[in-house]
Amino acid sequence: MNMKSPLFVAFALVFLVSVSIAAAQNFSGSYTGRTEEGNLTLQLQQSGTNVSGALTAWGTTLQISGRVEGGRVTAVGKMTEAPVQFFITVTNTGGQTVLEVMEEGENHQPDMATKERYILVRQGGGPASFESQHQAYSAPSMESLSSASYPGIGNPLAPGADAVSGTYKNQDMTVEIQAAASGFYQGRISFSGNVFPFTAKGNQAAGLSGTFRSGGDNYEFTASFANGAMELSTGGATHTLPKEGLPAAKPNPLAGSRGPTNPLAGPGRNGVPSIPGGLNDWKVLSHPVGIDVRYPPTWTVNRLEGAFFQMIPPNPGSENQQPTETYFLGGAQAGAITRPDDPQLLQLLGSQVLQLAPFLVQAGGVEQVRAGDQPGASVAWEGQNQLGKSIGARMYVTIIKGFAVCLLEIGYKDRIAARDPEFRQIFASLGGRQASQDPMVAGSWFLRETRSGGASHAMQNTSSASENRAQLILQPGGLARRSETYQFMGNSQIKNSGGEHTSTVYIDSGPQTTVKNGRWVAGDGRLVLLWDDESGDEYNYQVQGMAGGRTLALTTEKGSVQIWGESR
């Protein structure tokens, strides 16, 4: 199991919890991240309020020196090859360790126009927390988290939304539709406990025609729109679904005659594990790799990063405006690990919990539990924090479709104990299905990015340029290949006190090519690239244009957008 996998990177965010629950740490450690040009590493050593270290990225290394002030690292990074410096800050924002880098501008002050922002992952533990317990990060308000909706499904009542996009629902079925490109749509159909991704084309006047996927097979459907409702027809059956927020249409009295194999045309779950306790009214959270989890309608889910989510119960506990209970769901490629009670897996996950809260002690042994039809394992911890509060934590883990899926609850012991029966049912609802593969994403894509910059000062003039060329091949069968060639060049002209040029320093990284092979899945507007080295990348995506001239827009977790063109 690769702990550096970006799918596991997000799971590490769970281990930054308010000091009302856990003990604090400082910024010392090793961090990794990714720029648009390649990988980034940051080494920090903190002694009191002084900080030193090194930042390696963009084909060079910056030597760092600075201080911890007001709960953040403020530092200067100097190039080893030339007298060029950058301004650097490291902070904790909303549970994330964030690095900001700015070039030196006029009067030797930070040039805000050059600010670059990167999300970092602390190796061997969660994001750094503030040094003083009175400087703990401000968690997002429960009100803002509770308003989160399932990612990828737009608000049909929002300004600019088209007439087709939205949610259509009756007592048996829910259809969520999102515009993918001009005249094209994507979404999901929830029926009898199953979730079926679909793609379609058309418009409100002419209706939609498309296919949905179930168990590796595609089934055709059509949809028409009238009187504030959609009529979806497939396999001889017609389903009438009013659009949410609009007056309900009268049901079609002739709907019926359902076929035996089409899952929307007949009863049954088509092999999907049954949900314990009759929880079919629960919400469904789906990931395109083919893993679903159900959760109560009174809970909400907030996507934090990648395959990592915060699960928010009704009326969550808080004290001094800090949460006293937190619940998380995350996953990563399991690699060679095939059993949820594998000692290596439990030790890795347990070490993360104990690094956050070293006062916790494991309570009992490993409990055997079930996640749908898959075996699972559960481990509990308890102890008292520095404030004398009784803290409890429990982790549930299972292996589904080659992924280690973990649920973690941590907080005041009484709060956790009260929620655990319901949280255990959430874990039990986990199940696998056919991975999503949106055919609109398949193809050969290319990207070329160039950057240039420079600064002029009394003693030196600097300039730099970089180029990144990349090709992304997504085969219809699910295989993926990404190749990138990156090169950085820069120079610094040094002057004496009289303004005369005395020397020039040149930097050229030379072409640096990397190649990755793996597989891809895509659905509900999320593209996941799973590489053979157990790393991964995840994006929001949108495909536009006609065949031969399409564009693929990939948006990262921190909001940067890459526009890939279609190779011919």
Mean pLDDT of the 466-470 span: 90
- Report how many helices (DSSP H) and strands (DSSP E) the chain contains, helices first: 4, 38
What's the mean per-residue pLDDT of the chain? 78
pLDDT digits (tens, 9 = 90+) for 529-546: 988 887 888 888 999 888
Structure tokens at 146: 């509770």
Above 50 in pLDDT, residue 131? Answer: no
Instruction: Tell me: pLDDT of 12 over 50.
Output: no
Q: Is the dihedral of CA 168, 304, 431, 314 positive or negative?
A: negative
Is 70 exceeded by the pLDDT of residue 510?
yes
Residue range 268-287: mean pLDDT, rounded: 58
The pLDDT value given to residue 265: 54
pLDDT for residue 276: 45
Task: Give the domains, in start order, of the chain with CATH numbers.
Answer: 25-135 (2.40.128.120), 278-432 (3.40.1000.10), 443-566 (2.40.128)
Buried b (16+ CB within 10 A) or exposed e, 15-53: bbbbbbbbbbbbbebebbbbbbbbebebbbebeeeebeb
Amino acid at the residue 342: D
Nearest-5° Cα angle at 307, 442 to 441: 10
Residue 295 has pLDDT above 80, yes or no: yes
String of DSSP letters for 85-131: EEEEEEEEETTEEEEEEEEB-GGG-B-GGG-EEEEEEETTSS----S
